[in-house]
Amino acid sequence: MEDAHDAKINEDETVAVFGVFDGHGGQQCAEYLSNHLTKYIFKRLIHLQDASRYNSSSSGKVSSNQQVLKILKDSFFKMDHDLSNSQSYINCGSTSVVVAIFNNKIYVANTGDSRCIISTNEGNSKTLSFDQKPSVIGERVRIENSNGYVINNRVNEVLALSRAVGDFKFKTPYLTSTLNKYILDNITEMYKKGQQEQSNSKSGSSGSNKSSSNNNNNNNNNNNSKSSLSNNTSNSSPPSLQISDHEYIHIPPELFQVTVEPEILIFDMNELQTPEFIVIACDGIWDCFKNDQLIKLIRDKLVLGWKLNKIVEYILNDSLTMANNYTGIGLDNMTLIIVALHPGKSLDDWYSDMIFKIEKEKGLH
């Protein structure tokens, strides 16, 4: 198995970070994230909390939301950059779903197709992350704009994810050719502008040879344009612009075929009712259970007096019984974290309240 996980919680449980990492192509990337990403985010959130307590002004409270978002995004990009410096991580990658609880808010940063859901106060499932697949239109647009393609719901027929940590073969920071119409139009205009400026400068300095210089420049311009654009004008496919070495089209990490940039969703427990619990899991679990099914299963076991560690063990074993060599269900990486949310009361009180609440829903009280 190539998956890993980690959890960091401070003493008064006001700051917590949980992470699930589903590796592919090897376990090195997932293990690196479990050893470094959650710890790095946790330390920065603790530092932010200390700074907020020191500066209790209203402006500091307002900006903390932006600061947490920046910490999460910067942390993902830092991990990816650090991994890129080692040859041993080139051929492997990992999804990453990180849940941070800070200022009584739940922040979920997701890269890949691992998933986070919550059980609302009413016992319903609510999604706090979205699977990032190449078939999603926004992901596909980014992939194709970076000269990638999607076949069989895979990036370049290889990777079933559109975002991941690692997988550096899909993270070229520049393009040497492109079929993107927007880039083609802009680069062509840039060439025309540069050629015009060059023509004007030569014509201004040539004096009596002005007319012959213009003729030569016009011929050169025609030759350059013919060599720059591939001769596909007679074909139905759009022309591909070949870029010289000193004019590479540089693209930021957010626009790579497979980007590490996380999508972040926020659940504000200051404005909404506190959920019963959080579920964070690899896609191997979600292949076996739908969101509603898993929430119902967990609640059904809680009302019987089961503890969370026993429920996790049961779900993992139940997933293994669904193993199917044809579909692949039950054979993928499986990591599951259930986080009980019990502000202002102990975990034992939370268990008792959940039993009473679910029994009441079933008409037993």
pLDDT at residue 33 above 80?
Answer: yes
Q: Return the CATH number at 120.
A: 3.60.40.10
| Of 24, 263, 257, nearest in space to 155 by CA | 257
Determine, yes or no, domain membership for 243: no
| pLDDT per residue as tens digits for the range 128-148 | 999 999 999 999 998 988 888
Determine, yes or no, domain membership for 181: no
The parent domain of residue 266 ranges over 3-54+62-171+256-362
CA-based angle 102:105:109, to the nearest 5? Answer: 80
Number of helices followed by number of strands (H, E) in the chain: 9, 17
Mean confidence (pLDDT) of the chain:
83
The pLDDT, as a whole number, for residue 195 is 66
What confidence tier does 233 reach under pLDDT thresholds 50, 70, 90?
very low
Determine, yes or no, domain membership for 340: yes
Residues of 63-75 as b/e, b for ≥16 C-beta within 10 angstroms? ebeebbeebbbeb
The pLDDT, as a whole number, for residue 183 is 62
| Of 312, 184, 161, 203, nearest in space to 249 by CA | 184
pLDDT at residue 156 above 50?
Answer: yes
Determine, yes or no, domain membership for 317: yes
The pLDDT, as a whole number, for residue 179 is 64
Determine, yes or no, domain membership for 13: yes
Determine, yes or no, domain membership for 161: yes
The pLDDT, as a whole number, for residue 181 is 65
Residue 237 DSSP one-character state: S
| pLDDT per residue as tens digits for the range 167-203 | 898 988 887 766 666 666 666 666 666 667 767 776 6
179 Cβ contact partners less than 8 Å away, ≥ 6 residues apart? 147, 237, 238, 240
pLDDT at residue 240 above 70?
Answer: no
The pLDDT, as a whole number, for residue 46 is 94
Mean pLDDT to the nearest integer, 305-328 = 89
What confidence tier does 220 reach under pLDDT thresholds 50, 70, 90?
very low
Percent of the chain with pLDDT over 70: 79
Mean pLDDT to the nearest integer, 27-56 = 90
The pLDDT, as a whole number, for residue 328 is 75
Determine, yes or no, domain membership for 26: yes
The pLDDT, as a whole number, for residue 17 is 97
Mean pLDDT to the nearest integer, 59-75 = 79
Domain count, the chain: 1
32 Cβ contact partners less than 8 Å away, ≥ 6 residues apart? 79, 83, 89
What confidence tier does 236 reach under pLDDT thresholds 50, 70, 90?
very low
Determine, yes or no, domain membership for 45: yes
The pLDDT, as a whole number, for residue 67 is 93
